[in-house]
Amino acid sequence: MSESKEKIEMDESRIGGIQVIARACSVMRALGSHPRGLSLGAIAQEVGLARSTVQRIVRALESEAMVEPIRPGSGFRLGPALAQLIHQTHTDIISIARKSLEELSQQLNESVTLSCLSGKQTNVIDRVIAEHELRVVFPMGRSMPMHATADGKVLLSTLNNEQIVEVLGESPQKLTDATHDTQSLLSEMVQIRRSGFATDHQEHTIGISACSILIPTFMGAHAVTVVAPTSRFQMRCEEFRHALEACKTSISKLAGEY
């Protein structure tokens, strides 16, 4: 085989490999945007590929546990292997922040979380649950709507307005009477970007409020959040804010603020 022909075949193989990876990534992004899962046909429509092509990609991803079937004939969702990779990626920040989270929760006697952006959602990657009779228990790894949560809003502030609209769409779901629409959220972003601080006053769940502070590190942007029943939150909001600022300082010293 001539040297030029061999080079052409190597280039074609490389391009083909890149295309396969790109298509697999587009499938996973589509599933990431729909946590409840999608059928093969819906995935194909979402990514603009033939159903047969999507089926081959999904089967390959399923063999690596990157996607999993919801139940027979009901479509697919992101699999456990992806969650494991996310956890491993954030292991360092979890170990660095853990003591500060514990001290924050003990100081306030409220539940606190550490979260990050994951596609078009936020994921709680660590938490400390308060030993309080009336407390909020936040599920680990749960994807939450960013427009209606304190940590989601503070993490969204790292994006520009165009990116926020692309992530949320023009009409994000209204979960309570207090939930922001896109335009009111963009207006709030001005202050959030200035202060690095966001609140959720019953915007996600009636009776629960939260405040969150942005912690940009060399390991990515993270948010620390205090979550409490609204009755206590209203009386202690400023106290929570000052405690979050001290927590940020503590974590930033160890993680390196970006």
pLDDT at 135: 53
The backbone torsions φ and ψ at residue 185, rounded to the nearest 5 degrees and listed phi first, read: -65, -40
Question: Cα separation of 165 and 170, whole Å?
Answer: 6
Mean pLDDT, the chain, rounded, equals 83
Instruction: For each of the domains in the chain, give its residue range(s) and CATH number, in order of start.
Output: 3-81 (1.10.10.10), 90-255 (3.30.450.40)
Q: What is the predicted pLDDT for the residue at 187? A: 94
Tens-place pLDDT, residues 22-53: 889 899 888 877 777 889 999 999 899 999 99
136/63 Cα distance (integer angstroms): 37
In order, the DSSP letters of 147-187 are: GGSHHHHHHHTTS-HHHHHHHH-SS----STT---HHHHHH
**Torsion of Cα atoms, 226 then 230 then 231 then 237, to 10°:** 50
* pLDDT tens, residue by residue, 95-117: 889 999 999 999 999 999 999 88
Per-residue confidence (pLDDT) for residue 194, from 0 to 100: 95
For the entire predicted model, the pTM comes to: 0.63
